[in-house]
Structure 1
Amino acid sequence: MSRVWMITGANTGIGLEIALKALKEGDKVIAAVRSPEKVPETLKTDNVSILRFDLSWSQEKVNVFAKEAVGAFGKIDVLVNNAGYAYMGGIEEISDENVKQQYEINVFGILRVIRAFLPDLRAQRSGLILNFSSIGGFHGYPGNGIYCSTKFALEGITEALAQEVASFGIDAAIVEPGYFRTNFLASASAGQNLAPAMSEYENTPVGEARQAFVKYNLKQPGNPVILAERVWEYAARKGLFADRKRRLRLPLGSDTGAQLRSFIADLQETAEEYREVYESTDFKD
């Protein structure tokens, strides 16, 4: 049975690859994009509904958009919150204005989308919400701390959301890609979406991160086509997920896997070394 995918940012990068994979498997796609005129020819088929959308829209406007999206094919089976952006720079380098804008799009924008689609998902008592986090969703990186913090927030939101909507037959999951070969680093490597540099940080991890944006742009290890295959399989419970439990987190990329294992080891060491400390703080009665 074909599925209907609603994908934000479906005209480029990972969003586009997921859309193409879904179409290849006979599914239908609602491509939510900021500039419909820039959608590639590969998405201009009868099984795709191209709709203008922006994460900066108000809740009221997103609600109207959601009704239009559901009306395109009569339902939504998979809601993919993929769109977002990264504003780079050290914590001291980034202004409040830029931090607020980053949260407005990457956190509040996605919250508005979730709220807008939940009434229909609850009514049909089915659906899968895929919120795209990052390897930076559980590990903060120098020169990228604000973006990482928005993904930390999205992970916490999704953990709670998954428990809140389970009784309605809805699943929610966190997708954690590592560094995939898309244009994600392009704007930072070109000096855009990048805070003005402070000379004090030139020879620190923040300065090294600025150099890495250029060095690793379009040289990332992850293959976005294969990522799309894994995401589709996760949703369809096929392929590598035919006999695997659908867990809350979907880590993708060997770099994410390595960081995940390192994170687990650090937590384990902390839990063991500080056991006397944290157990000492309870009431004794």
Structure 2
Amino acid sequence: MTEQKTSPEQTSTEQQEDMTGKKVWFITGAGRGMGTDIAQAALAAGHAVVATGRDPEKVTQAIGENKDLLAVKLDVTDPSDAEAAVRAAVARFGRIDVLVNNAGNFYAGFFEEITPEDFRAQIETTMFGPMNVTRAALPVLRTQRSGLVVTISSTAGIAGGEFLSAYAASKFGVEGWAESLAPEIAPFGIRTMLVEPGFFRTELLTPESTSYAESTIEDYAERTEQTVTAWKGMNGLQGGDPAKLAHALIRLAELEQPPLRFAAGADAVETFEQRATALQDQADAHRELSSNLAHNDA
């Protein structure tokens, strides 16, 4: 693996490959699922890819050998891992053009039954994880005065639902963070894009990615059994094609002004529309009461 002690400031042109016409994609969670598809699509489009995961060998096996591929160890919950991975990327390719925060997992269950430890673990991976990696990459992007930060969120970051309290909390947090980050870094030529997939045929519902809370409260038992059975039955049958989403992201990354949010899938578009309607209905429901809460100073 590439030596990771070189800082961006110390990197020499001799260490870097000829990057004429290529962009450098830095992708987390690239060892399986959607991350693998995004990495393969970026390579097929002629770009260089820094593909990260907890086990770099598994990352290379999943994506396939390629001269423009660098596999790097990265646990997104470890800030020092993120900093080392960014150094390795710059040492090999000289820059980072597109950062894709994709790594994730899923702790499912009713709020009362998810342990505090598991709830925090969800937040650590799917909210603080993207923050750790982005914080490590931003000095490079600011120096370049260019770059795109893509964060894979979820329709669960637009609309919550039962059995999703931990996951939705992390994704709602990611939505607020990325939306607030956008104007902070726009003056440096850095753009952000949130991607909200609906149900895609990824590995999110596999035992490797999903942990179900232990059923301990009788009041929830029947609904827990029904939900777990339904979700396990859905695994491998989701309608969305992650390879098509990966190619869509390549297209969107080429835009001068990528969208702040991209609804990924027809079901995601429907979620956006339903949420917009619900918010408008809630604004209208008590408009007079809401609008008459100011001080009577006049």
Q: Same fold (TM over 0.5)?
A: yes
Residues 1:128 and 2:148 aligned together: yes
The whole-number CA distance in structure 2 between the counterparts of 1:61 and 1:182 is: 25
Name the counterpart of 1:7.
27
Shift of 1:182: 1.2
Q: Is the 8 A contact 1:133 1:154 kept in 2?
A: yes
Name the SS for the 1:187 alignment partner: coil
The whole-number CA distance in structure 2 between the counterparts of 1:282 and 1:176 is: 36
The whole-number CA distance in structure 2 between the counterparts of 1:164 and 1:228 is: 27
Shift of 1:188: 7.9
The whole-number CA distance in structure 2 between the counterparts of 1:188 and 1:139 is: 25
The whole-number CA distance in structure 2 between the counterparts of 1:195 and 1:173 is: 31
Shift of 1:85: 0.6
Residues 1:275 and 2:287 aligned together: yes
Name the counterpart of 1:56.
77
Residues 1:208 and 2:226 aligned together: yes
Name the counterpart of 1:34.
54
Change (3 A) 1:41 1:275: closer
Of the three residues 206, 212, 218, the one matched with 1:199 is 218
Name the counterpart of 1:169.
189
Name the SS for the 2:112 alignment partner: coil
Name the counterpart of 1:224.
242
Change (3 A) 1:41 1:177: closer
The whole-number CA distance in structure 2 between the counterparts of 1:209 and 1:168 is: 45
Name the SS for the 2:49 alignment partner: strand
- Structure 1 stretches of 4+ with a deviation exceeding 3 A read none
Shift of 1:173: 1.3
Residues 1:257 and 2:276 aligned together: no
Deviation by residue 1:88-142 (Cα, 9 ceiling, x = unmatched): 1110110111111111111122211111100010000000000110010111121
Residues 1:47 and 2:72 aligned together: no
State the AA in 2 paired with 1:31.
A
The whole-number CA distance in structure 1 between the counterparts of 2:240 and 2:233 is: 15
TM score, norm. by length of structure 2: 0.88
Shift of 1:63: 1.8
State the AA in 2 paired with 1:201.
Y
Percent identical pairs in the alignment equals: 37
Aligned residues: 275
Q: Is the 8 A contact 1:31 1:49 kept in 2?
A: yes
Of the three residues 106, 109, 118, the one matched with 2:138 is 118
Which runs of no fewer than 5 residues in structure 1 stay unpaired?
none
Name the counterpart of 2:8.
none
Shift of 1:246: 2.5
The whole-number CA distance in structure 2 between the counterparts of 1:43 and 1:125 is: 32
Once the two structures are overlaid, the 10-residue window that deviates more, 194-203 or 180-189, is: 180-189
Residues 1:73 and 2:88 aligned together: no
The whole-number CA distance in structure 1 between the counterparts of 2:62 and 2:221 is: 43
Shift of 1:2: 1.7
Shift of 1:64: 2.5
Name the SS for the 1:227 alignment partner: helix
Residues 1:183 and 2:203 aligned together: yes
Change (3 A) 1:107 1:235: same
The whole-number CA distance in structure 2 between the counterparts of 1:255 and 1:180 is: 10
The whole-number CA distance in structure 2 between the counterparts of 1:63 and 1:208 is: 43
Shift of 1:207: 4.2
Change (3 A) 1:164 1:54: same
Q: Is the 8 A contact 2:36 2:62 kept in 1?
A: no
State the AA in 2 paired with 1:5.
W
- Root-mean-square deviation (CA), in Å? 1.7
Shift of 1:41: 5.8
Q: Is the 8 A contact 1:143 1:210 kept in 2?
A: no
